[in-house]
């Protein structure tokens, strides 16, 4: 057992160590990361607000708008008209473009082509073309619409991992901070190596700009985190949602809040939050936030761009709103995979970020998340090791309780503290340890049970074998001494009975007799030693120790007597006579184990206590009793009503022993039985005192009421003999049994 416990402890330690290596970042298991993503997505979807936020409105370049206005990109005059409509007709608060304008309007290229052709050779015509180009310049028209209004333009950054990292064009907006604000940890943010931005004319005319792409897509392609700042050279640039909120708040500075790390180095600081105006946004060490999704697509109002251009949009929806211009058209490739929906517009991700900043409802992963995960794994490992030593039901209850505690604490941190604590790895470890230990126990215990069944299956019932296996103790067939109880039982008058039956009928009779009695012995936790013709030998207390061996043996003998009487009707129907058995029981120290020769052995019991039980079975005939037990067994079953039959000295044994007949549980005797027992005890007491007259006066009425009682007749016969001759001086009332 100790070896198996040690093996299970080693298995628990090995599994826990692997998980700890992953949690500490020393060894990565991608499946655990994926499980953590699944756990995060499940918690997110279970707690989504599911309501619509009308503060942010998406002006959608959808399929309907493309059919009405033509393919994208639209002429700049049309975009200028869109901006004018939003501010002059609908009075929006701020406008953000989740699209980019990196190239001049196509109209400009037409004038340039004409100027380079034959018409360009004519100086007056060339001057006229230049005047017309300047007057009709769509980019200038669009820039004029942007100028002086809270408009934020979008652009993108390329990181070292981007396939187009070397491509760079356009003009960046003004940065919001410098890397100097990060102190010694100026390399923690995501660093861009190039960018794709808007035309300088347009960017200079807009209030500001923000990048709309995220390099933090998880391995499964899902957008869960978005950086709010990206480093390019020595400057820090905002994500478009952050830039839109800044424009809404009239461009307050972005303050970087740093937190001291866990080392003794004072310069070991990490970015903890961003502050702008009265809003604080918690971020991780790379300046990213978990997107606070409100729900599936449609958590913010959508207005087709064509309705804004036509002036048919609902003014109540747009007035004072934060507007993002983006696209849901599949051909424009701005659809993303998110935890709430596989196909989700990128512009709505930014809408969620804006709402999250305004509501201050970001969930964050604490800086001590790795330490917390290691602590959880350590506790789970200890609980798993503890569960490995429990019974299956106990192990299951402990595992379920531990899982419930993990889920409860994690749910509290998620809802009440807005903290994303590790969950998948501790739960996975708990499940793995449970399955590991359960499987180990199953295979080891199955092997142990097969071994025990091989050793003891022919002697004891399957239930005892299963219990021996569950206990995990070591059992063998080697001889040992134990306090036990042994039973001998055979059929009364079997020799005469067997002469009446043919061999085949006798075999059938014995099977019908032995089967129910064996079942009764097994039900009372007894071990069948052997069948000797019509006799049964059984014992209690081995191979499985039984502190109540005497009680089980006596209960078994009484049940066997009842079982035989229950067979009377069936036997009569078969033409067989009713059977009665005589049983002897004794308790004491016995040798138990494999006994025999080199050629044949059997698992049995030997010793003086065994011989006495055999003699008591033979004595039952002389006293007319079905069951005879020794005084040693009687002392172990005080709850049974037992009448003393005699004090005898059996053949081959000099020490006398009192013998008793169990009548049943003391509380089960009815009034007549109790009265008869009292009369008998009084008569026996007079007999022991050599008061022959009072003894006869006690036994005679008992015999007259039960003339078939061999016990009462025996004592009346003895009284005649005792009166006829002188008693020995040392007469002690002990009767010598000469027969076996």
- Taking only the tens place, the pLDDT of each residue in 21-54 is 888 878 888 888 889 899 999 999 999 998 999 9
Which of 437, 435, 426 minimizes the C-alpha distance to 402?
A: 426
Residue 263: pLDDT over 50: no
What confidence score (pLDDT) does residue 724 get? 85
What radius of gyration do the chain's Cα atoms show? 49
Rounded distance between C-alpha atoms, residue 454 and residue 212, angstroms: 73
Dihedral of alpha carbons 472, 477, 482, 483, sign: positive
Q: Which range is least confidently modeled, 47-61, 118-132, 189-203?
A: 118-132
Q: Which of 27-31, 223-227, 532-536, 720-724 has the highest mean pLDDT?
A: 223-227
Q: For residue 184, is pLDDT > 70?
A: no
Across 6-10, 12-16, 682-686, which has the greatest mean pLDDT?
Answer: 682-686
pLDDT value of position 161: 64
The answer to whether residue 520 scores a pLDDT higher than 90 is yes
Range name among 176-185, 228-237, 448-457, 694-703 with the lowest pLDDT average: 448-457
Look at residue 479 in the predicted model and tell me its pLDDT: 67
Enclosing H/E stretch for 582: strand 581-596
Check residue 395 and give its pLDDT. 82
Q: Give the residue among 296, 255, 369, 226 at the shortest CA–CA distance from 48.
A: 296
Residue with tokens 């990181």: 159
CB 588 within 8 A of CB 481: no
pLDDT of 207 > 90? The answer is yes
* The two structure tokens encoding residue 436: 């590991």
DSSP H/E element including 64: helix 63-69
Q: How far apart are CA 675 and CA 679, in angstroms?
A: 6
Domain ranges of the chain: 2-47+366-450, 56-107+149-359, 475-668, 670-740
b/e per residue, 293-315, with b = 16+ CB within 10 A? bbbebebbbbbbbbbbbeeebee
- For residues 638-642, average pLDDT: 95
Angle subtended by helix axes 123-135 and 106-116, to nearest 10: 170
Asked if pLDDT for residue 262 goes beyond 50, the answer is: no
Q: What is the mean pLDDT of residues 232-244?
A: 95
Do residues 330 and 317 lie in contact, with contact meaning Cβ atoms separated by under 8 Å?
no
For residue range 442-488, what is the model confidence (pLDDT) as tens digits? 666 666 555 555 555 555 555 555 554 555 555 555 668 999 999 99
- Tell me, what's the pLDDT at 477? 52
Structure tokens at 335: 């659809």
Place of tokens 């009166």: 723
Of 173-187, 456-470, 561-575, 655-669, the range with the lowest mean pLDDT is: 456-470
- pLDDT tier for residue 65 given thresholds of 50, 70 and 90: very high
pLDDT at 674 over 70: yes
Contact 395, 437 (CB under 8 A): yes
- The whole-number pLDDT of residue 121 equals 57
pLDDT beyond 80 at 640: yes
C-alpha span between 184 and 266 (Å, rounded): 10
Q: pLDDT tens digit string along 104-114? A: 987 655 545 54
The rounded mean pLDDT for the chain is 86
Task: With a cut of 80, say whether residue 390 has pLDDT above it.
Answer: no
- Over residues 204-213, mean pLDDT: 95
The CA distance from 493 to 478, in Å, is: 37
Contact 247, 323 (CB under 8 A): no
According to the model, what pLDDT value does residue 437 have? Answer: 76
Rounded CA separation 155/192 (Å): 13
Q: Please state, for a pLDDT cut of 90, what percent of the chain lies above it.
A: 54
Tell the burial category of 720 from Cβ atoms under 10 Å away from its Cβ (0-12, 13-18, 19+). exposed
CA dist 691 and 199 (Å) reads 134
Give the distance, in angstroms, between the CA of residue 113 and the centroid of all CA atoms in the same chain: 73
Select from 3.30.70.1230, 3.30.1490.20, 3.40.50.970, 3.40.30.10 the CATH code of 475-668.
Answer: 3.30.70.1230
Backbone angles phi, psi at 524, to 5 degrees: -100, 25
Amino acid 111: pLDDT? 47
Query: Does the pLDDT value for residue 266 go beyond 50?
Result: no
> Tens of pLDDT along 285-327?
889 999 999 999 999 999 999 999 999 999 999 999 999 999 9
């Amino acid at each position: 057992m100790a070896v198996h416990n040690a093996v299970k402890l080693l298995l628990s330690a090995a599994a826990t160590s692997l998980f700890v290596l992953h949690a500490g970042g020393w060894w990565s298991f991608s499946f655990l990361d994926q499980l953590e993503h699944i756990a995060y997505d499940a918690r997110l979807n279970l707690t989504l607000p599911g309501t619509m936020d009308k503060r942010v409105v998406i002006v959608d370049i959808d399929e309907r708008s493309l059919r009405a206005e033509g393919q994208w990109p639209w002429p700049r005059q049309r975009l200028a008209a869109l901006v004018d409509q939003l501010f002059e007709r609908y009075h929006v608060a701020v406008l953000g473009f989740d699209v980019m304008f990196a190239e001049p309007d196509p109209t400009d290229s037409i004038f340039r082509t004409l100027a380079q052709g034959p018409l360009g050779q004519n100086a007056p015509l060339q001057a006229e073309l230049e005047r017309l180009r300047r007057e009709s310049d769509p980019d200038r028209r669009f820039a004029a619409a942007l100028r002086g209004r809270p408009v934020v333009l979008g652009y993108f950054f390329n990181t070292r991992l981007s396939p187009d990292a070397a491509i760079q064009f356009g003009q960046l907006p003004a940065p919001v901070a410098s890397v100097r604000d990060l102190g010694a940890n100026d390399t923690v943010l995501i660093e861009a190596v190039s960018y794709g931005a808007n035309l300088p004319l347009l960017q200079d005319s807009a209030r500001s700009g923000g990048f709309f792409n995220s390099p933090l897509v998880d391995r499964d392609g899902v957008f869960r985190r978005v950086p709010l700042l990206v480093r390019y050279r020595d400057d820090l640039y905002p994500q478009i949602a952050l830039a839109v909120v800044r424009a809404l708040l009239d461009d307050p500075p972005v303050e970087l809040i740093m937190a001291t790390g866990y080392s003794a180095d004072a310069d070991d600081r990490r970015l903890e939050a961003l502050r702008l105006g009265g809003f604080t946004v918690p971020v991780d060490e790379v300046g990213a936030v978990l997107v606070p999704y409100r729900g599936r697509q449609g958590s913010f109002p959508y207005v087709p761009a064509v309705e804004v251009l036509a002036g048919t949009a609902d003014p109540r929806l747009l007035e004072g709103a934060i507007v993002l211009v983006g696209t849901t058209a599949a051909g424009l490739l701005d659809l993303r995979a998110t935890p709430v929906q596989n196909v989700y517009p990128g512009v709505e991700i930014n809408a969620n970020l804006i709402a999250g900043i305004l509501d201050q409802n970001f969930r964050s992963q604490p800086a001590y998340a790795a330490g917390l995960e290691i602590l959880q794994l350590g506790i789970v490992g200890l609980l798993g090791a503890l569960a490995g030593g429990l019974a299956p039901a106990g192990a299951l209850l402990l595992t379920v309780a531990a899982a419930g505690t993990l889920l409860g604490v994690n749910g509290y941190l998620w809802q009440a503290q807005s903290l994303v604590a590790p969950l998948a790895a501790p739960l996975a470890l708990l499940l793995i340890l449970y399955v590991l230990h359960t499987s180990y126990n199953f295979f080891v215990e199955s092997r142990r049970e097969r071994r025990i069944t091989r050793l003891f299956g022919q002697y004891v019932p399957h239930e005892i074998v299963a219990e021996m296996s569950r206990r995990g103790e070591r059992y063998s067939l080697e001889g040992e001494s134990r306090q036990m109880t042994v039973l001998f039982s055979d059929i009364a008058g079997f020799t005469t009975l067997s002469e009446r039956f043919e061999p085949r009928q006798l075999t059938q009779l014995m099977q019908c007799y032995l089967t129910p009695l064996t079942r009764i012995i097994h039900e009372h936790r007894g071990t069948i030693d052997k069948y000797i013709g019509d006799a049964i030998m059984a014992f209690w207390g081995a191979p499985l120790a039984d502190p109540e061996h005497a009680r089980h043996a006596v209960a078994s003998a009484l049940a066997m007597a009842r079982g035989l009487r229950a067979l009377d009707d069936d036997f009569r129907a078969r033409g067989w006579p009713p059977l009665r058995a005589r049983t002897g029981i004794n308790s004491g120290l016995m040798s138990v184990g494999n006994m025999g020769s080199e050629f044949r052995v059997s698992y049995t019991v030997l010793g003086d206590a065994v011989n006495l039980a055999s003699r008591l079975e033979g004595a039952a005939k002389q006293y007319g009793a079905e069951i005879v037990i020794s005084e040693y067994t009687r002392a172990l079953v005080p709850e049974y009503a037992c009448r003393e039959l005699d004090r005898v000295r059996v053949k081959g044994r000099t020490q006398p022993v009192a013998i008793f007949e169990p009548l049943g549980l003391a509380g089960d005797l009815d009034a007549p039985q109790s009265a008869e027992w009292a009369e008998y005890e009084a008569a026996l007491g007079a007999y022991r005192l050599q008061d022959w007259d009072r003894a006869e006066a006690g036994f005679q009425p008992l015999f007259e009421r039960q003339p078939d009682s061999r016990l009462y007749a025996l004592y009346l016969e003895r009284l005649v003999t005792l009166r006829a001759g002188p008693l020995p001086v040392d007469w002690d009332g002990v009767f010598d049994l000469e027969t076996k």
